[in-house]
A = this chain, B = another copy of it.
Amino acid sequence: MKYRLYTPGPTSVPESTLLKLAGPVHHHRTAEFRETLKQATALLQYVFQTTQTVFTITGSGTAAAEAGIVSTLAPGKKVLNISNGKFAERWAQVCKAYGIEVEELKKEYGTHVTPDEIAAKLKSSHYDAVILVHSETSTATTCDLAGIGKAVRASGDTLLIVDGITSIGAFPFKMDEWGVDVAITGSQKALMLPPGLGFVALSQRAWSAVEANKSARQFYLDLAKYKKSIANNDTPFTPANTLIEALLVSLNMIKDETIEGVWKRTAANAQAFRSGMQALGLKLFSHTPADSVSAICYPTGISDKDFRGQLKNKHNVHVAGGQGTMEGNIFRVNHMGYSDAYDTLAVVAAIEHVLNKLGHKVELGKGVAAVQHELAKSF
């Protein structure tokens, strides 16, 4: 049975990218690899919508986030962390591990902060940085990042550090235009690659903070080392070079479709999926849903174990469950990356079958019909 991956990371990887990974392994201290890294970096700048260098770190998105946070913020600096989900909470933990003072603005799961709230907080106190997750993967929730960027810039010298792990390359993210100072993502989401690479870009303001930070204690995640190496299109440590060669294949697919085309497709599929779920009487968990991933509340009487178990075992369809306190309450479905209209249709169809088998009767075809009507708008 065909394997269908709908988890919000890792996501499906294009066959041409996978085939690149099956090719002979090359050495990385060569002119050829430097050219690959140069091209990949330029395309990452396009995806991030920035003129700043995007650094490729061999590690997870968390490694890239830690590099971005700890390189810019010395111990004792004060951060406003928007804590509205599992990943947002992780960045508060990173700060604490390094002695950075953290004030957590806790928001109910499924909600996010508004530009006005940020403006009010920044008026009430001085923060060296605001850290937030543009698309909180654990709750499928996004925010008005353009508005928040404006509010942060209006406040003066506060840095805006953004986890864009499930937004960058999925829906509009404009690093330079919106005033993002540290932008972070990972390989296994919208960039259509297996896990193993993290990416981070810094504004000029953020680089000034790095230079002023004399108490940073890191080696592998020291961004100054990456900056020095990239001048020669190189990396300070042995990179996962086969993943970077494959990255270039996926990034060229994004370039060919155009980033605006990718955003439009992802939004159309997310909207079609949400319509399908609503037609089946299922509710979204998020109050401000992201287009990269959807979180759906289980109807009463449907257990996560049975639902995801049947999807997996009978349909080979793999969706994600809830994390932490959301475990058992929601399931999550990816729309990022190598995912098209008919993938969206298929997952809604499989959900119809499983709900019926589990005794939560739905009208077969009602969900997929809603998907079809929504998709028709973009065809």
Contacts and interface: CB of A to CB of B under 8 A. Distances in A.
Contact of A97 (B11, B99, B186, B218): B218
Contacts of A98: 217, 219
Interface string A11-34: 111000011011111111100000
* Most chain B CB atoms below 10 A, which of A13, A22, A93, A318: A22
A66 B24 contact: no
B27 A195 contact: no
B21 A5 contact: no
A276 interface: no
Contact of A219 (B93, B188, B219, B320): B93
A1 to B, nearest CB: 12
A356 interface: no
Interface stretch (A148-156, A239-247, A284-292): A239-247
A195 to B, nearest CB: 5
A239 B219 CA distance: 20
Interface stretch (A53-61, A114-122, A366-374): A53-61
**Most chain B Cβ neighbours within 10 Å, of A58, A98, A238, A242:** A238
Interface residues of A, number: 52
B194 A25 contact: yes
Contacts of A9: 238
Nearest to A3: B24
Contact of A18 (B22, B59, B63, B188): B22
A317 to B, nearest CB: 12
Contacts of A241: 10, 194-195
- How many subunits of this chain does the assembly comprise? 2
Contacts of A26: 3, 5, 10, 318
A336 B239 CA distance: 19
Contact of A243 (B93, B97, B196): B196
A62 interface: yes
Interface in A62-111: 62-63, 66, 75, 93-94, 97-99
Contacts of A5: 24-27
26 contacts: A9-B238, A10-B238, A12-B25, A18-B21, A18-B22, A21-B242, A29-B320, A58-B58, A58-B59, A59-B63, A59-B220, A61-B238, A62-B238, A63-B220, A75-B217, A97-B218, A97-B219, A97-B222, A98-B217, A98-B219, A99-B217, A188-B238, A195-B238, A195-B240, A196-B242, A221-B221
A7 interface: yes
A237 B60 contact: yes
B66 A220 contact: yes
A242 B7 contact: no
A60 B58 CA distance: 7
A10 B27 contact: yes
A299 B10 CA distance: 51
A219 B12 contact: no
Interface string A300-338: 000000000000000000101000000000000000000
A76 to B, nearest CB: 13
Contacts of A60: 58, 220, 237-239
Nearest to A11: B25
A372 B331 CA distance: 62
Nearest to A63: B220
Given A18-B21, A28-B10, A240 B237 contact: no
A316 to B, nearest CB: 10
Contacts of A25: 5, 10-13, 18, 188, 194
